[in-house]
C-alpha cells in the first residue's frame, strides 16, 4: 500500500468518537509506521460522535477524492424514540419536551415515512457542522446564540420500517449527500403530530463500501503491521 500516493480506508467508527478524532489516531499510526512527521489524512462525510459505522478515510493524494466520495449514496439504520424531543435531535442533549403518542399506529408510521421519499426540503440541525457567517452552527448553538439555518434540497431514495415497537421505531434510510438523519427524525415526529429524536444511528454503507468491509480502529495497528508498504516521494 502506498499511503502517500493515496489510499481510501473504510473504518467502522466507534460510538463516542468524533470523525476528527478517528482521523487523528489513524494519521498518528500511519506517520509512525512510515517514519514521517506529516501525512495528509482526511475523512469523507462526518459522522456524529453518537453514531457508528462507515467512515471513509483518505490518505496522501487520495484526499483529492474526498468530494467525489462524499457524493456517494449512503445507507443508515436508525432508532427513533417517538413522543420526546431534544435540542440536538439525538442523545447528546437531554429531553426538553414530551408529546402524546397514543394516537400513533404502525399504519400511520408507514404512511408518514412515504412522505419523505424523493426530493425533499430539510432544515439542518443547529447542532451541526453547517456554516453560519463563517462559524460552525454547533459552536454558535453551544454558546447559546440564536441560529437560523436555511432549508436544503436533498434526495432520499428509500425509507423502510424495520421495527415498530411504539414509542420506538427502527428505520433503514438510503439517501444522498447532505441528509441529516437527526433532522429526519425531528420531521417524522412532527408529521406524526408528536415529537421524535434519535437514540441510535449506524451508517451501514457509503457507495460500494459496506460496514462488513470496514476496519475496526482497535485492529488498525495490527492490520498496518501486516501491510506491504510502498513509498512514493511527494512531488
Q: Please report, to the nearest 10 degrees, the dihedral formed by the alpha carbons of residues 120, 140, 43, 160 taken in order.
A: -30
- The residue annotated as part of the active site, out of 2, 12, 48, 219, is 48
- Whole-number pLDDT of residue 127: 67
**Per-residue pLDDT tens for 69-96?**
999 999 999 999 999 999 889 998 999 9
Mean pLDDT of 43-57: 95
What one-character DSSP code corresponds to residue 57?
Answer: E
* C-alpha 16 chain-centroid distance: 12
**Mean pLDDT for the stretch of residues 204-222:** 96
Percent of the chain with pLDDT over 70: 89
Helix or strand or coil: residue 32?
helix
Rounded to whole angstroms, the Cα distance separating 15 from 34 reads: 28
> Does the annotation mark 90 as catalytic?
no
Entry pTM = 0.91
- H helical segments located in the chain: 19-34, 66-70, 106-114, 137-142, 181-191, 220-225
- Output the pLDDT for position 52: 98
Flag whether pLDDT at 142 surpasses 90: no
Q: Which domains does the chain have, with CATH numbers?
A: 8-71+209-225 (3.30.2350.10), 74-206 (3.30.2350.10)
d(CA 100, CA 93): 20
CA distance 214 to 173: 19
pLDDT of residue 154: 95
For residue 143 the three cell numbers come to 454558546
For the chain, count helices (H), then strands (E).
Answer: 6, 14
The pLDDT value given to residue 195: 97
SS (H, E, C) 152-216: EEEEEEEEEEEEEECCEEEEEEEECCCCCHHHHHHHHHHHCCCCEEEEEEEEEEECCEEHHHCEE
Going by pLDDT thresholds of 50, 70 and 90, the confidence category of residue 235 is: very low
Amino acid at each position: 500500500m502506498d499511503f502517500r500516493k493515496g489510499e481510501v480506508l473504510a473504518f467502522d467508527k466507534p460510538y463516542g468518537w468524533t470523525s476528527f478524532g478517528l482521523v487523528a489516531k489513524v494519521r498518528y499510526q500511519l506517520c509512525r509506521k512510515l517514519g514521517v512527521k506529516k501525512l495528509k489524512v482526511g475523512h469523507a462525510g462526518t459522522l456524529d460522535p453518537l453514531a457508528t459505522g462507515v467512515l471513509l478515510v483518505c490518505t496522501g493524494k487520495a484526499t483529492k477524492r474526498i468530494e467525489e466520495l462524499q457524493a456517494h449514496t449512503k445507507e443508515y439504520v436508525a432508532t427513533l424514540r417517538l413522543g420526546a424531543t431534544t435540542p440536538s435531535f439525538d442523545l447528546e442533549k437531554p429531553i426538553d419536551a414530551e408529546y402524546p403518542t397514543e394516537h400513533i399506529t404502525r399504519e400511520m408510521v408507514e404512511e408518514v415515512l412515504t412522505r419523505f421519499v424523493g426530493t425533499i426540503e430539510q432544515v439542518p440541525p443547529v447542532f451541526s457542522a453547517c456554516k453560519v457567517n463563517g462559524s460552525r452552527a454547533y459552536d454558535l448553538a453551544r454558546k447559546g446564540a440564536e441560529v437560523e439555518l436555511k432549508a436544503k434540497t436533498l434526495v432520499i431514495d428509500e425509507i423502510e420500517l424495520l421495527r415498530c415497537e411504539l414509542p420506538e421505531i427502527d428505520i433503514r434510510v438510503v439517501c444522498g449527500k447532505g441528509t441529516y438523519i437527526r433532522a429526519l427524525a425531528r420531521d417524522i415526529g412532527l408529521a406524526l403530530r408528536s415529537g421524535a429524536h434519535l437514540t441510535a444511528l449506524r451508517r451501514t454503507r457509503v457507495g460500494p463500501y459496506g460496514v462488513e468491509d470496514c476496519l475496526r480502529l482497535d485492529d488498525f495497528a495490527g492490520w498496518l503491521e501486516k501491510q506491504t508498504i510502498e513509498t512514493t516521494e511527494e512531488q
